[in-house]
Structure 1
Amino acid sequence: MKLYNNIQSRGMTVMLLVKELGIEDQIEEINVPYENMHQAEYLKINPMGKVPCLIDQGVMISEVAAIFTYLADKYSEKGLAPALDDPKRGAYLKWMFFAHGPLTEFMDLKGLNVPDEQIEQRKRSLTFGHEESVLAFLKKGMQEANPYLLGEKISAADLFLGYWVIFAIYLKILPYLDEFKPFIQLLAQRDSMKGVPWLQKIND
């Protein structure tokens, strides 16, 4: 497999999963500098001109949540994704796509300094609604974690959601609520998470 990536992109998230799966030797990581992402050579691979982008047996997989889901399923023996007939599969997908959709949309708009009043006016057309609903959804999920989102075993959804929550706290987009701390501190013990700079900084 080839992973087109950039160390300063969202592709850093994928490397957490690669390490957790223990498949570093099965992936060739190809660095794509930002100035090359919209050049014709790379646009032939991904017309969006974005990384990360995974190529496996001639098939292109873009979007971080799709790559996470694909790899966790491909290496299902590692136990990071519930089976298709597992009742927990629904909750697993819920968290994967909440993080990829509503949470990152919320982070993007806050990062662009869109006024709260404007967000409130458009909340019906936004995937996250408003800030209170994002916080309520996250607090409920983490309060119910036992100790991970799906129960006793970690899943790719924990890594994916955890990374974005940690990053949002680092950027001061989300507050570091008491409800988040047990979950984040649990993730901090994983070898795969120890190189995440945002994690180290929020715990300093």
Structure 2
Amino acid sequence: MLWLLQEMGITPEIIRYEIGSKGMRAPELLDHSPAGRIPALEIDGITIFESAAILQYLCESRPEHGFGRAPGHADRVAYLEAMGFAETMASLIEQLNLNHLFLRPPAKPSPTVVKLNTLRLADTLRALDGMVAGDYLLPSGFSAADAMMGFNLFAAPYYVRMEQWPGLLAYWERLQARPGFQAAAEIEGPQAFYAKDFYEVPSDD
């Protein structure tokens, strides 16, 4: 969301919440995001939660930027598929985050579950590698669908070795080179979520 806002030249006021903290249940967050999840966006006198809905709204309310694909566009179906596929991939990353980062002894993660979700994440990355059309996901150029993949491509290398998809790595490098991405990364600040460079599937021992 922050990345697409920067692509549109919009710098929001940011209220930060720490995942796993009591602040995630604070009334002021629940008033904006009923399930206590982030992000949520206040804009144009309304509040929106869920990343895909936020990006869709931004594209539809500000079509002059050309980041959406309206009904009738040749890439409309591919755009909708990519937006939904990003959520599928993110759900697997969320499960791996939960198992690797938030569960602590004696509630140890299940090696079988972690292995399964890691393999499923690898399958989505393999599929994404085949979805890239030219420089971006769509033949018509950069879109909100690329922005939806941003967190996934940032997080996936902590769980899956990416060297097997050089084309996907090149795509990720192109995304990171965009001025809007770089501006958002500067606002976000250093990565402080992952404590390791790579998280192996736990053993059965």
Superposition TM-score, scaled by structure 2 size: 0.71
Partner of 1:9: none
Cα deviations by residue, 1:63-107 (Å, 9 ceiling, x for unpaired): 11211111122111101111222131111121111111x211221
Matched, 1:150 2:138: yes
Partner of 2:14: 29
Partner of 1:4: none
- Quote how far apart the aligned CAs of 1:146 are: 1.2
AA in 2 matched with 1:109: Q
Secondary structure of 2:170's partner?
helix
Aligned ranges 1:98-113 → 2 under 5 Å: 98-100=85-87, 102-111=88-97, 112-113=99-100
Aligned ranges 1:1-150 → 2 under 5 Å: 14-24=1-11, 27-32=12-17, 34-100=21-87, 102-111=88-97, 112-113=99-100, 115=110, 117-118=112-113, 130-142=120-132, 145-150=133-138
**Runs of 5+ in structure 2 lacking a partner?**
101-108, 192-196, 198-205
Cα deviations by residue, 1:1-40 (Å, 9 ceiling, x for unpaired): xxxxxxxxxxxxx11111001122xx44344565433123
Matched, 1:178 2:166: yes
Please provide the CA RMSD for this pair. 2.9
CA contact (8 A) 1:17 1:68 kept: yes
- 2: CA distance between counterparts of 1:82 and 1:96? 11
Paired residue total: 175
- Report sequence identity in percent: 26
Secondary structure of 1:60's partner?
strand
- 2: CA distance between counterparts of 1:41 and 1:188? 33
AA in 2 matched with 1:133: D
AA in 2 matched with 1:110: L
- 1: CA distance between counterparts of 2:139 and 2:89? 22
CA contact (8 A) 2:67 2:144 kept: yes
- 2: CA distance between counterparts of 1:131 and 1:116? 15
- Quote how far apart the aligned CAs of 1:58 are: 4.5
Q: Which has the higher contact order (CA 8 A, sep 6+)?
A: 2
Cα deviations by residue, 1:109-162 (Å, 9 ceiling, x for unpaired): 3331555644788x9xxxx983453133112113xx212111242111112213
Closer, same or farther in 2 for the Cα pair 1:57/1:162, shift >3 Å?
closer
CA contact (8 A) 1:82 1:92 kept: yes
AA in 2 matched with 1:108: E
- 1: CA distance between counterparts of 2:150 and 2:28? 34
AA in 2 matched with 1:18: L
- 2: CA distance between counterparts of 1:192 and 1:186? 12
